[in-house]
Structure 1
Amino acid sequence: MLRHRLAALFEPRTVMVVADRTLPLDDDPPRWLAGSHAHANVAPGQPIALPPMPGLPEDERLDQALLCVPPERLPEALAVLKPLRPRCVVLLPHVQAPADPLEDMIYCRAWGRLNDCLVLGPHSLGVQRPHLGLNLSQLPRMALGGRVALVAQSRSIASAVLDWAQDINMGFSAVVSLGDEAGLDLAQVLDYLALDARTNSIALYLEEASSSRDFGSALRAAASIKPVVVLKAGHAADAHTTEDAAFNALLRRAGAVRIRYFVQLFSAIKVLGYAQRPRGRRIALFSNGGGAPQLALDVMGDGGSVVPAALSSATLKALGQILTQTGRVGNPVLTYTNLTPVRVRQVIDVLVADAGVDGVLVLLSPDPLSDLEAVARELADIAPAARKPIVTCFMGDATMRPLRHMLDAVGTPAFRTPESAANAFGILGAYHYNQTLAQQTLPPEPLGKPPRLEEARALVREVREAGRLALSREECVRLLSCFHVPLIHISAADARGRDIDDEDLPMAIRVRRDDKFGPYITFGSGGQDALLSESNRTLELPPLNRYLARQLVQRSTLWRKALSRRLQPAVYEILLESLEHISGLVSDVPDLLSLTIDPLISDDTHLLALGVRGALSRSPMLVLPEHSGYRHMAIHPYPRRLVQAKAFKNGQPWLLRPIRPEDAEILQTFIRGLSDESRYMRFVSMLRELTPRMLERYTRIDYDRELALVATVLVPNPEHRGHPREEIIGFAHYLRNADGRGAEYALVIGDAWQRHGLGAQLMRALIEAAREQGLAYIDGVVLATNRPMLSLMAHLGFRNDVDSEDPTMRRVWLDLGDTRQH
């Protein structure tokens, strides 16, 4: 089993403490580490000397060094540590403030880079791993164990959350404060936590949004596996709204959830620890009074992510029989008499059984006529086993706090106020919506007509050679035509001669570039209206497909006010197609700084562009985006350059291309069509089809860090009068290993297509892509009885090792630095 590089931080086997004080680890080391850590005392005026490190072989590197020293002695401490070659150094804040914090950060970053060492800090809170009893921080109290990982760019926020969590008995799987990121960045931490079996969800507090592609890629990978909630500072009205909107777009595309206020972080952490997830936004409310649900409804109605459910007639009838004359059976469901455990169970059973209800919010206030402790015990029994999420609110403190703790103890979130409880459900609802966006699987579609890339790039060179950055109208039109953007470009005078509804509001499509998140596309009002409605434009990051283009348009104020009623369906499709193709232009022509199509109007059958202007960036892109990994963008687009038309020896054509989310249906068909033997050789089980999670994992590819290739042929489709459709006949995939240096491959070929050289061609393409992404090796685990696969790997230059843990398996691997051709 490969060890993740960050295991030295989160699960160290050896720790050297270098400090001028006693740290919590020294007082209470975990049992498994007690004989594998040592403390080097830093005394004033005395040189730092390291004691012997027990349990560390001479040829083995130290896992972690934990430092808390005066700033002026930091270089000395790092120098004495160098012979131990630590994999990770954690720099805790010292009571003595540094003279120049920036200089310390630069020095630590350089030291870590020169010594192949991860550096956390300076001025980090440190790390806690409660389930291991590991407190690598200055905090005297260990967090309780739990399933939520807390990652903060502020040690004060992290310490405040831990203090609050102690009060409500909430635990964590890991706590890490990054402080000044010297050599360890957020992307690396997300990669580790995504694979951490102890972590079910992740809460992030950010003060500075990372602009690196690595962050977006890691966030996308983590959020595809477990819920991620983000609290980011700096969203006030005077903040840079475009950057904030671009950051929100990145979170949506990753499937993460953003919260706005610190108080919501507590709700988010509590609710993310809940095992039940809503499948929709419709919430039923049940209360022993009318005030609390009204406060919750106010939160829901304030642009919230959840809405009150419409109860079915059967539900209303059943509730009427339970509550008789003592309550109200609408939504919210109210009872005005003494509340009993039996009545609570009956009401909740009815609400959960309603197909139109996605979750239940129970709001209770103190009532001397009811045994609320017995009611809380009943809720603690009901909620963990319920098919739908049940969130509770016990209003008050003196008598209600112990009841909240009772619910928290069984893993069911209980809140103090109706607003926080409703907001928690909103977080669950937003998570559901963003996951739907991130995991959207569309029906299979053709790739479409390829753009005239060389012509477009030649045009950009001509403009630069002429000493200009601004594009003329004619040059903009030429550039758009190279990407087959289906707009008709006319003058304002020509527009007056067409059949155009004077009531139609002009539209506008704009391309701009943010310093952190790269190019983005906005849609909204055009013409004079644009001057008054800039804040109502919607924004999305490229690349766009048809679904994302539709979401961009439908989120706009212009769509809700007018376009949804007035735009003809055929013209609406032209608008979506235009956005898709403009997204392709943005991806493949990185020199484009801005593009404005305004005003954009429609008649019954066409979309008419009356004005278009554009500009190039001051600095030209010297490397083609397909060779640089599209580093000018926040999200790696579909790698079109890997699409290759090929043919078998008998002349039958086939296509090699990267997989797309739209391929989920035909990939499932391919897996179902495999023989039992082929399926067992690939999955080492009799799995007959991919689970929804596996299907998503193989088709929702982050092209920046992994790759899946498919071989397809065209076959007649009887459901569409024999028109051809794509059929997958081969599949190859690699996913990065825990060490970050290599990747594990998977390969499966359809039974009817084996022994045609298909596997070798797929693997060669996969290997070349892995080299381009900077991987050092590619490996895989193969059944020892799978001789055809072992023979193919040997032909491609792979080495074959016996699996030390399982003699029925073989590990095959290839050094990607080996340039020999096979």
Structure 2
Amino acid sequence: MSTRYLESLFNPSSIVVIGASERADNLGGMVLRNLLGGGYPGQLLVVNQSGYDNVHGVHCVPRVSKMEFTPELAIICTPPDTVPKLVKKLGELGVRTAIVMTGGMSRTHSKTGQPLMYSVREAARETGLRVLGPNTIGLMVPARSLNATYAHMGAIPGRVAFIGQSGTIASSVLDWAFARGVGFSYFLTLGDGMDIDHDDLIDYLAQDSQTRAILLHIENVPNPRRFISAVRVASRTKPVIAVKSGRVPESEWIPHALPAGLKRSDPIYDAMLRRAGVLRVDGLGQMFDALETLTRMRPLRRESLAIMANGVGPGVLAVDRLADLGGELAKLSEQTVESLAKLLPPYWTRKNPIDLNYDASPELYANAIKILAKDPEVANVLVMYAPSLTEDSLRIADAVVQASKGTRLNVFTCWLGQSTVMDSREEFYRAGIPSFFNPEKAVMAFMQHVRHQRVQRLLTETPESFTDHFADRVRPRRLVANALRSGRSYLSNREAREVVRDYGINTIDTLYCDDVEEVLEVFAVERRPVDISIIHEQVCHPFLDLSPSQRRYKGTVKKLNSEAAIIDGCRFLMDEYQEHFPDSGFIGFAVQYSYQHVGGVEFSVGITRDEQFGPLVVCGASGAQINVMTDRQIALPPLNMVLARELLRRTYMYKLLKEHSLKPEEDIRAVAETLVTLSQIVIDIPRIKGLEISPLLFNEKGAVAVNVAIDLDEKPSKPIIQPYPRELEEWIVLPKSGRRVIIRPVLAEDEPTHRAFHEHQSPESIRYRFFQYRKHFSREDVAQMVQIDYDREMVFIANAPKEDGEGEETLGTVRTWTDADNLRCEFAVMVDDKMKGEGLGLALMRKMIDYCRSRGTVEMVGNVLPDNRPMLRLAEQLGFEIKYNPDEEVMDLRLVLNEPEKDWQKERLRRGGAHL
């Protein structure tokens, strides 16, 4: 990911259009006309080998080598086979960015046999040129009068950025947005995305003050790790709304190789977008409806909805749609009901939705809103109106606007109809109140707001602590290594049980036998009924995709209580195995004593692996009576307890567990702990390809794994979200007090101690750290401090047991934010007042400097108040360059960590880190 030279793309002082002519159907000519028609203020030049003196009045030269100046941006509209050489030549001439609009490069091949678009990427990498495309519609920056596209119309200026992948979809978005009055800060498509990709642009837009919301149209994500890292940063500060096309295998442009246990790739994208804090919608209409509510409504204090209309019918339609989408109606207080009763006919329903009657006046609408504003249970109100002979819709709209001002309510409207209500909708638009054409769209847009707030909440939730069961990681790793060394791509049933048991997951007591004689010996010890399963190579693999005939296979016999029954049972199992799996090597029998007091709702939980997205945690139903594949839900590791519970809540089995378990909360926690543990297993042992526990049942100790299967891959796979870097933990002893302190990366679970640390510091220490006095830190403030992306930020905290022995406390913290290009990181450090003189600040800073230097960051910077003498002395001791900044009235600190290697890095650093 890199924002290198993107400023030259979005704000070029000069542009060359290569391949433009005055033919009506010429691609370059269309682009040039749009540049001129949009009033582009910079220098323009055309390159065309046909010998024109000018094209549409713009000077033309025959070759790029004849250009009189070096443009910042080149727009290439020439035949496919000419593009790679042009890209290379432009880069050698010092051009920073290029837009390749030429299409068909994914289907046109070079002499080496690979598509030409890859030759474009190689040429760009050789010279450092940034390329948008190939096969892109181009880009628009309306506020800068830049329309470098072949689109049929321009965009109006606004605060919304659109990044698409399809030019035809982008054209329809332009039409749609213009009709709705939606303006854009940036508008572009990626095309084939050979260089500049989603993550580069999202990083740029996240820092852009003129962009309030980001709209994405996604067909595929070539680099999920970079994408999710960028989007998680952006979605914390502005809404990100995405449409993902290709939801079913038949509509996928690039077929997705499915991981074991899944029938579609779409749920993987769903899990990624949810984890990134993105609101995913089903189409362009929903995208703009969601944009209405997210940008025009305040954050929701409650998720319930009050509905009022001048008739029963519209209210009923709205309630039906709300129920379909899993929403809830607000419950009106008794005082609200009595206040409304004074205004409404005696036969009104006295409940939500509120029927104001067909002759409702502007005053009645206004008074009803004012009454609802006083109800503490009401936070969101949908106001609807159907045209009538008795009242003027515009007067009612004006009354709604005026009554809504100054209230704490989120008000949005639905004026049904078309010809007689357009002026009313315009009134709402001017007032900043979302308005919709029908109840279904209005309720859907509201529920999009609810869903967005829920995924945002996951970014700032503080997980409950979870006891670390993972003390012995050595034996599981050894089992996996030995299996791979012996040429096996799976663990035996016995080995798989040992792995999960070593990680603290309870398993059914199981004995393993090579033949029926050993089974009889096991039975003879206690002469208790036994359950016997046959073990062969194929059943050692998780998520078996069985043929129709194999689905009739029976691999277990239960409650055998005599030698004769055991002999017959083993013979039956061997017959079943030889009929259905004749090519699968026989391993033996697994024997379990019957009646081990396990039961409850049957879950299937595990790990599968995707080629692009890495390991995935799955959870859902187990058992023949349930559609297992339909219920299977997905989450991205690493998981904590909050994320594990959210995954569990999405399954149908969660509802059954809530309804039928004798101890629902304990069982829910047990399943969530198992999911967190599985997430940790695949992080610790990245050569595990798949792991399935099916079924997962319950006993008095919690969740119990009845059957476990694990398969392996020589190639390790890492999660696309950077997990907790345990290797960075370090114990130190403070020289003055002799106190043992652990310096480690922060965890989301550290929120309580982190908050306590900030709240008991002196006012002076708080001012030195935050440049202002602060008496209070909210849970949300501190949650953002501890919920970090280890790819982008790092926070080291110094923790130690409390002196009274009651728990742990935070004694100091150091934080860095690193830009997308890993050029510069900004630091902040703070040490507990009582620890002054212990050298803890020095230890924290050295830890952070070593970490940033090792990851290749070029320099570290910071700002310090001039009277913060202790920090200035520490900076001097660490070798920082210190200068006074008269504009900001602070001391600027700078420390070179690594020498910049590229010219663009040196130039960026000279300009203070601004986009180039």
- Taking structure 1 as the reference length, what is the TM-score of the superposition? 0.89
Query: 3-state SS of the aligned residue for 2:99?
Result: strand
Does the 8 Å CA contact 1:514/1:520 hold for their aligned counterparts? yes
Structure 2 residue matching 1:139: 3-state secondary structure: coil
Q: Residue type of the partner of 1:158?
A: A
1:12 is displaced (CA, Å) by 3.2
2:449 pairs, out of 428, 444, 447, with 428
Q: What is the distance in 2 between the residues matched to 1:466 and 1:296?
A: 63
Alignment partner of 1:67 is 2:76? yes
Corresponding residue of 1:12:
12
CA distance in 2, matches of 1:783, 1:692: 27
Compared CA separation, residues 760 and 28, structure 1 to 2 (3 A): farther
User: Could you report, residue by residue, the CA deviation over 1:289-325 in whole angstroms, capped at 9, with x for unpaired residues?
Assistant: 22222222222222x1532222222221122222234
Deviations 1:37-88 (A, max 9, x none): 222242536722578778x8xxxxx543333344454356435533552332
Aligned position for 1:745: 827
User: 2-side partners of 1:132 and 1:407: how far apart?
Assistant: 29
Residue range with higher mean Cα deviation, 770-779 or 564-573? 564-573
Instruction: Look up the SS of the partner of 1:44 in the other structure.
Output: coil
Q: Distance in 2 between matches of 1:809 and 1:686?
A: 19
Query: Which of the pair has more CA radius of gyration?
Result: 2
Alpha-carbon separation, structure 1, partners of 2:3 and 2:283: 37
Which residue of 329, 337, 358 corresponds with 2:379?
358
Whole-Å separation in 2 of the counterparts to 1:26 and 1:715:
66
Match of 1:368 among 378, 382, 389: 389
Does the 8 A contact of 2:729 with 2:744 survive in 1?
Answer: yes
Write the letter of the residue equivalent to 2:720: A
Which residue matches 1:798? 880
Asked if 1:497 corresponds to 2:595, the answer is yes
Asked if the contact 2:742/2:798 (under 8 Å) is kept, the reply is: yes
Matched, 1:42 2:48: yes
Contact 1:643 1:656 in 2 (8 A): yes
1:646 to partner: Cα distance: 2.1
- Map 1:623-702 onto structure 2 (within 5 A): 632-649=718-735, 650-690=737-777, 694-702=781-789
* Structure 1 equivalent of residue 500 of structure 2: 480
Q: Residue 187 of structure 1 corresponds to which residue in structure 2?
A: 199
Residue of structure 2 in register with 1:81 after alignment: 90
- Which residue is equivalent to 2:120? 108
Alignment of 1:19-34 (within 5 A): 19-20=19-20, 21=29, 23-24=32-33, 26-28=35-37, 34=41
Decide whether aligned partners of structure 1 residues 685 and 562 sit closer, same or farther in structure 2, where only a CA change above 3 A counts.
closer
User: How do 1:524-535 residues align onto structure 2 when only pairs under 5 Å count?
Assistant: 524-529=620-625, 532-535=627-630
- Contact residue 71 and residue 97 of structure 1 kept, 8 A: no
Deviation at 1:692, TM superposition (A): 5.7
SS at 1:322 equivalent: coil
Q: Secondary structure at the match of 1:235?
A: coil
Q: Deviations over 1:420-473 (max 9, x none)?
A: 111100100101111222221135x37635432333222211111111111012
* Paired residue secondary structure (2:382): strand
Q: Name the structure 2 match of 1:463.
A: 483
Report matched runs for 1:265-280 at 5 Å. 265-280=287-302
- CA 1:76–1:382: 2 relative to 1, 3 Å: farther
1:602 is matched with: 698
Query: 1:159 maps to what in 2?
Result: 171
Q: Hey, what does 1:719 align to over in structure 2?
A: none
Displacement of 1:686: 1.9
- Note the C-alpha offset of 1:711: 0.7
Aligned to 1:514: 610
Q: TM-score, normalised by structure 2?
A: 0.80
State the alpha-carbon separation in 1 of the partners of residues 120 and 51 from structure 2.
23
**How far did 1:708 drift?**
0.8
Q: Distance in 1 between matches of 2:469 and 2:92?
A: 59
1:192 deviation in Å?
Answer: 1.4
Q: Distance in 2 between matches of 1:533 and 1:97?
A: 38
Is the alpha carbon distance of 1:456 and 1:420 closer, same or farther for their aligned partners in structure 2, counting shifts above 3 Å?
A: same
Deviations 1:493-550 (A, max 9, x none): 345233345xx343322221122222122223334346x4331123222212122222
Where in structure 2 are the equivalents of 1:774-813 lying within 5 Å?
Answer: 774-803=856-885, 805-806=887-888, 808-813=890-895
Please give the alpha-carbon distance, in whole angstroms, between the structure 1 residues aligned to 2:318 and 2:36.
46
Range that drifts further, 746-755 or 803-812 = 803-812
Percent identity of paired positions between Structure 1 and Structure 2: 28
Match of 1:431, SS?
helix
1:341–1:115 CA distance, 2 compared to 1 (3 A):
farther
User: 1:734 deviation in Å?
Assistant: 0.8
After superposition, the C-alpha distances for 1:231-264 in whole angstroms (9 at most, x for unaligned) are 1112248676452222222222222111123331
Counterpart CA distance in 2 for 1:105 and 1:669 is: 55
- In 1, Cα distance between the equivalents of 2:91 and 2:654? 62
5 Å matches for 1:347-426? 347-383=368-404, 385-426=406-447
Aligned residue identity for 1:703: Y
Report the equivalent of 1:583: 679
- The alignment partner of 1:369 has SS state of coil
Deviation at 1:120, TM superposition (A): 0.8
**Residues 231, 261 of structure 1: 8 Å contact kept:** yes
Aligned residues: 789
Equivalent residue letter for 2:859: Y
Aligned twin of 1:628: none
Deviations 1:649-689, CA, capped at 9 Å, x for gaps: 23211111111222223222222222222222222222334
* One-letter amino acid of the structure 2 residue matched with residue 419 of structure 1: E
In terms of mean alpha carbon deviation, does 517-526 or 176-185 score higher? 517-526
- CA shift at 1:723, angstroms? 5.2
Q: Distance in 2 between matches of 1:385 and 1:4?
A: 45
Deviation at 1:732, TM superposition (A): 0.7
Kept in 1, the 8 Å contact 2:248–2:264? The answer is: no
Q: Distance in 2 between matches of 1:693 and 1:323?
A: 42
Structure 2 match to 1:231: 243
C-alpha distance in structure 2 between counterparts of 1:418 and 1:704, whole Å: 43
Shift, 1:733, TM fit: 0.7
TM-superposed CA distance for 1:595, in Å, is 1.2
Instruction: Name the Cα RMSD after superposition.
Output: 3.0
Q: Does the C-alpha gap of structure 1 residues 486 and 616 become closer, same or farther in structure 2, counting only changes over 3 Å?
A: same
Q: Which moved more, 1:250-259 or 1:690-699?
A: 690-699
Q: Identify the match of residue 222 of structure 1 among 229, 234, 251.
A: 234
DSSP 3-state at the match of 2:802: strand
Judge conservation of contact 1:229–1:259 (CA < 8 Å) in 2. Answer: yes
Gaps of 5+ in 2: 21-28, 53-61, 252-257, 512-529, 532-591, 902-916
> Do the aligned partners of 1:224 and 1:254 also contact (CA within 8 Å) in 2?
no
Counterpart Cα distance in 1 of 2:128 and 2:775: 45
The alpha carbon displacement at 1:13 in A equals: 4.0
**Residue 541, structure 1, aligned to residue 547, structure 2:** no
What displacement does 1:224 show?
1.6
3-state DSSP of counterpart to 1:323: coil
Q: Cα 1:526–1:407, aligned 2, differ >3 Å: closer, same or farther? A: same
AA in 1 matched with 2:281: I
Closer/same/farther in 2, CA of residues 73 and 582 from structure 1, 3 Å limit: closer
Secondary structure of 1:791's counterpart equals helix
Between 1:680-689 and 1:163-172, the stretch displaced more is 680-689
Question: Does the C-alpha gap of structure 1 residues 118 and 675 become closer, same or farther in structure 2, counting only changes over 3 Å?
Answer: same
Structure 1 unmatched runs, 5+: 57-61, 622-630, 717-721
Q: Aligned partners of 1:418 and 1:11: how far apart in 2?
A: 42
Partner in structure 1 of residue 306 of structure 2: 284
